[in-house]
Amino acid sequence: MSATSAQKPTLLSIRNIAKTFGRNVVLRDVSLQIAEGEFLTILGESGSGKTTLLRIIAGFETATSGEVWMGTERLDQQPPYRRRVNTVFQNYALFPHLTVEQNVAYGLRVARRPDAEIEQRVTEALEKVKMTAHARKKPSKISGGQQQRVALARALVNRPNLLLLDEPLSALDANLRRQMQVELKSLQREVGIAFVFVTHDQEEAMVMSDRIALLRSGELEQVASPREIYSRPATAYVAQFIGHTNLLRGEVRDGVARCGSLSWRTSAADGPALFSLRPEHLRPSSVASNGTVRVTGKVLQQAFHGATSLVRVECAEGLVLVMRTSSGALAAQEVELEFSPDDAIPVRESPERA
Amino acid sequence: MFSRAYKTAVTVPPLAWVAVFLLFPYALMFCYSFWSVTPAQTIVHSWNFNNYKELLQKSVYWQTLLRSMWIAARVMLFSLLLGYPLAYFLSFYAGKRKDLLYQMVIIPLWVSYLVRAYAWKTILGSDGVLNTLLQYVHLTSHPLDFLLYSPFAVALTLTHIYTPFTILPIYASLEHISRNLVEASHDLGATPAQTFWKVIFPLSIPGVVAGATFAFLLSLGDFLAPLLLGGPSGIMISNIVVSLFGAAYNWPLGAAISLGMLVIVVSLLFFSERLEKKWSFS
Find chain B residues with C-beta within 8 A of A102's C-beta: none
B133-138: average pLDDT: 87
Question: Distance between CA A31 and CA A10 in Å, rounded?
Answer: 13
The 3-state secondary structure of A130-143 reads CCHHHCCCCHHHCC
Interface probe, candidates B179, B180, B187, chain A, greatest A C-beta count within 10 A: B187
Query: In this prediction, what percent of chain A has a pLDDT beyond 90?
Result: 67
Q: Which of A61, A94, A82 is nearest to A168 (CA)?
A: A94
Residue B48 has pLDDT above 60, yes or no: yes
Residue A337 has pLDDT above 80, yes or no: yes
Give me the residue from A81, A86, A138 closest to B191, CB to CB: A81
CA dihedral B188→B189→B195→B200, nearest 10 degrees, is 10
Interface probe, candidates A99, A106, A159, A196, chain B, greatest B C-beta count within 10 A: A106
- Rg from Cα positions in chain A: 24
CA distance to partner chain B, nearest, from residue A307 (Å): 42
Residue pLDDT, tens place only, B81-94: 999 999 999 999 98
Residue A320 has pLDDT above 80, yes or no: yes
Roughly what angle, to the nearest 10 degrees, separates helices A100-110 and A115-128? 130
Q: What is the pLDDT of residue A1?
A: 42
B64-77: average pLDDT: 95
Q: What is the pLDDT of residue A267?
A: 86
The total of other beta-carbon atoms located within 10 Å of residue B242's CB is 17
pLDDT grade for A301, boundaries at 50, 70 and 90: confident
Question: Distance between CA B273 and CA B261 in Å, rounded?
Answer: 18
Question: Distance between CA B137 and CA B119 in Å, rounded?
Answer: 22
DSSP state of A348: B
CA distance to partner chain A, nearest, from residue B217 (Å): 28
A125-133: average pLDDT: 94
Find chain A residues with C-beta within 8 A of B281's C-beta: 96-97, 138, 140
Per the CB < 8 Å rule, is B181 touching A93? yes
DSSP string, A54-85: HHHHHTSS--SEEEEEETTEE-TTS-GGGSSE
Question: Distance between CA B245 and CA B253 in Å, rounded?
Answer: 9
Q: What is the pLDDT of residue A213?
A: 96
Per the CB < 8 Å rule, is A110 touching B281? no
CB-based contact, B278 to chain A, within 8 Å: no
Partners of A251 in the beta sheet? A258, A272
ipTM of the complex: 0.86
Amino acid found at A47? G
Q: Label residue A88 left, alpha or beta by phi (over 0 means left) and psi (-120 to 50 means alpha).
A: beta
Q: What b-and-e string marks burial along A333-342, b requiring 16 or more CB atoms within 10 Å of the CB?
A: eebebbbebe
3-state DSSP call for residue A155?
Answer: helix
CA distance to partner chain A, nearest, from residue B181 (Å): 5
Count of pairs with CB atoms under 8 A, one residue in A, one in B: 72
Per the prediction, chain B carries an average pLDDT of: 92
Give this prediction's pTM: 0.85
Residue A30 main-chain phi, psi, to 5 deg: -95, 125
Residue A352 has pLDDT above 80, yes or no: no
Q: Set out the domains of chain B in order of their start, with CATH numbers.
A: 52-278 (1.10.3720.10)
Q: Is residue A79 within 8 Å of residue A233, measured between CB atoms?
A: no
CB-based contact, B179 to chain A, within 8 Å: no
pLDDT grade for A354, boundaries at 50, 70 and 90: low
3-state DSSP call for residue B229?
Answer: helix
Question: Distance between CA B34 and CA B43 in Å, rounded?
Answer: 11
Give the up-direction half-sphere exposure of residue B135: CA atoms within 13 A in the CB hemisphere: 14
A179-187: average pLDDT: 91
Which has the higher per-residue pLDDT, A292 or A16?
Answer: A16
Length of chain B (residues): 282
Question: Distance between CA A285 and CA A267 in Å, rounded?
Answer: 24
CB-based contact, B181 to chain A, within 8 Å: yes
Give the up-direction half-sphere exposure of residue B168: CA atoms within 13 A in the CB hemisphere: 14
3-state DSSP call for residue A336?
Answer: strand
Q: Set out the domains of chain A in order of their start, with CATH numbers.
A: 3-237 (3.40.50.300), 244-347 (2.40.50.140)
Residue pLDDT, tens place only, A75-92: 999 999 999 999 999 999
Residue A307 has pLDDT above 90, yes or no: no
Per the CB < 8 Å rule, is B188 touching A79? no
Interface list for A 112-141 with B (CB within 8 A): 138, 140
Query: In this prediction, what percent of chain B has a pLDDT beyond 90?
Result: 65
Per the CB < 8 Å rule, is B189 touching A95? no
What stretches of chain A adopt beta strand conformation (E)?
Answer: 10-21, 24-35, 39-43, 65-70, 73-74, 85-88, 162-166, 194-199, 211-216, 219-224, 246-253, 256-259, 262-265, 271-277, 283-284, 293-304, 309-315, 320-325, 334-339, 345-347
Residues 6+ apart with CB under 8 A from A142: A100, A134, A150
| Residue in A with minimal Cα distance to B193 | A110
CB-based contact, A25 to chain B, within 8 Å: no
Residue pLDDT, tens place only, A249-278: 989 998 899 888 888 988 888 889 999 999
Q: Are strands A262-265 and A256-259 parallel, antiparallel or unpaired?
A: antiparallel
Which has the higher per-residue pLDDT, A330 or A95?
Answer: A95
The total of other beta-carbon atoms located within 10 Å of residue B69's CB is 16
Find chain A residues with C-beta within 8 A of B188's C-beta: 81, 86, 106-107, 110, 154-155, 158
Question: Distance between CA B165 and CA B78 in Å, rounded?
Answer: 12
Question: Distance between CA A77 and CA A59 in Å, rounded?
Answer: 9
pLDDT grade for A29, boundaries at 50, 70 and 90: very high
Q: Which of A101, A97, A96 is nearest to A134 (CA)?
A: A101
